[in-house]
Chain A
Amino acid sequence: ETGVTQTPRHLVMGMTNKKSLKCEQHLGHNAMYWYKQSAKKPLELMFVYSLEERVENNSVPSRFSPECPNSSHLFLHLHTLQPEDSALYLCASSQDGGFTSGRIKPDEQFFGPGTRLTVL
């Protein structure tokens, strides 16, 4: 148990469906992340939220839409996905040291168990 929960754990959806992934962290962290993990590829960073503001988009297609209503919750809204979007979607959180610590503080992240998404 890492203190980061994700629901649902498994999701199967058609290309025309709309669904949302949910992440909740109980660690008091101020930064949250979405990653995509596909077979034979490294974990790919999708979105970063720090202090509830998005700080990086990373050129993710617009069919993925993140939402961070507060520092404990993060959503990933899915719309008209493609079969190649099938993957494990991981949420993570960390305590961002902010501008004062910059790159000195290691970005130690705590991951949830992931949502296994299959797009038919």
Chain B
Amino acid sequence: TQLLEQSPQFLSIQEGENLTVYCNSSSVFSSLQWYRQEPGEGPVLLVTVVTGGEVKKLKRLTFQFGDARKDSSLHITAAQPGDTGLYLCAANPPMYSGGGADGLTFGKGTHLIIQP
């Protein structure tokens, strides 16, 4: 069982349409991050959400953290071809191991294609 479940896995839509992708878990997180990865590149951080119920906007992208801090969504308004990429959610594991740096746990991602 994956810690972070992302859906849908693949999404192909026309330019100008709206879309929402989801990141769900049965675990509670102190924070959750969204990254976008383009072919041949590493993931680039888009946003970090920390507070339950928090909503953050980044131009046409709206990120929401669930009230219980177990899930998150990313909504894109009027999608453009430049939005094409792999969208990854990531979080610090819920188990506390005593401090220090932690790597992130990632979902499998949503492959998004915006067709002109």
Contact = CB atoms under 8 A, between A and B. Distances in A.
B92 A106 contact: yes
Contacts of B100: 50, 55, 96, 98-99
B4 A42 contact: yes
Interface of B: 2, 4, 30-31, 33, 35, 40-45, 48, 50, 88, 90, 92, 96, 98-109
A33 B40 contact: no
Contacts of B99: 98-99, 102
Interface residues of A, number: 37
B58 to A, nearest CB: 15
A43 interface: yes
Contacts of A116: 40
A103 B45 contact: no
B30 A103 contact: yes
Contacts of B50: 106
